[in-house]
Amino acid sequence: MHIVVCIKQVPDSAQIRVHPVTNTIMRQGVPTIINPYDLFALEAALELRDQFGGEVTVLTMGPPSAEDSLRKALTFGADRAVLLTDRFFAGADTLATTYALATAICKISTEFGAADVVFTGKQTIDGDTAQVGPGIAKRLGLSQLTYVAKISALDLTARTIDAERRSEGGVQILRTRLPCLVTMLEATNQIRRGAMADALRAARAPIVKWSAQEAGVEDISKCGLRGSPTIVKRVFAPAARSEKAVMIEAAEQPAEALIDAIFKRQPTLETELATLARGY
């Protein structure tokens, strides 16, 4: 079995800066980490590998410095790391990113064996779009299981996978055929510490590095800013609220005290609610 895990090196969200002209994230001088959601995807992949055998290939697209995150993934136990790096990829939105990653996954399947499962985190902390996983699935023609909390079963003979998916109405139990793409939710497992042997291996392991041409990208115009129809018009921090929180002290019947405070603050609200009630 061959599993591909897409990860992303992201800026530490506490120290993000935005370029005032291009409205893109300025990564220079900002500490970077593996996108936290992707760690849950990586652990899910490693658990399947440990149970059923096979290999886990970790893939990322980014600048040369993204090699640090790939080596971190190797310390957790991943078997192989692939870095997709080229100046043509700079400034990519989710459409351009999925095009490059899907192309790289096809190349990985050719070089190292067909991918049975592709894992991603549900979203990234810098973009928060949750579009990359489904976008890759669409481009590769894969069934997709999104917002997965648990992989319940995997049958390599029948080529099926069962997963528990969280939804607004509860938990869905889904089954689909392999190959497929899975996006993992947060707090669904606990990432392992990694063995000393993996840490030593990660320090000297070769990182497979592909440019756009080496990855098999046929149309450069679909990559980077050139291939990104999404334009960030303006980036700004929300204005601070002038009102301060009010502490309601009520040793007894706090709910009633809260309701009284709300009606006092909005004098017409009680009448409006009564009118609506009569309408029903």
Per residue in 90-119, pLDDT tens?
989 999 999 999 999 999 999 999 999 999
- DSSP secondary-structure letter at 17? E
Q: Which residue is listed with tokens 């840490």? A: 199
CA distance 78 to 61: 17
Task: Map out the domains of the chain with their CATH numbers.
Answer: 2-227 (3.40.50.620), 241-279 (no CATH)
Among residues of the chain, what percentage have pLDDT more than 90?
60
SS3 246: coil
6 forms beta bridges with 59
* pLDDT value of residue 237: 61
SS3 63: coil
* pLDDT value of residue 212: 93
Q: Which residue is listed with tokens 């063995």? A: 195
Residues of the chain short of pLDDT 70, as ranges, are 13-20, 22-27, 235-238, 251, 280
Instruction: Kindly give the interhelix angle for 196-204 and 67-76, rounded to the nearest 10 degrees.
Output: 150
DSSP characters over 106-135: HHHHHHH---SEEEEES--TTT----HHHH
CA distance 208 to 82: 5
Question: What number of other Cβ atoms are within 10 A of residue 130's Cβ?
Answer: 18
* pLDDT value of residue 235: 67
> Are the C-beta atoms of residues 150 and 186 closer than 8 Å to each other?
no
| CA distances, 48 to each of 41, 118, 202 (Å) | 11, 12, 20
* pLDDT value of residue 195: 86
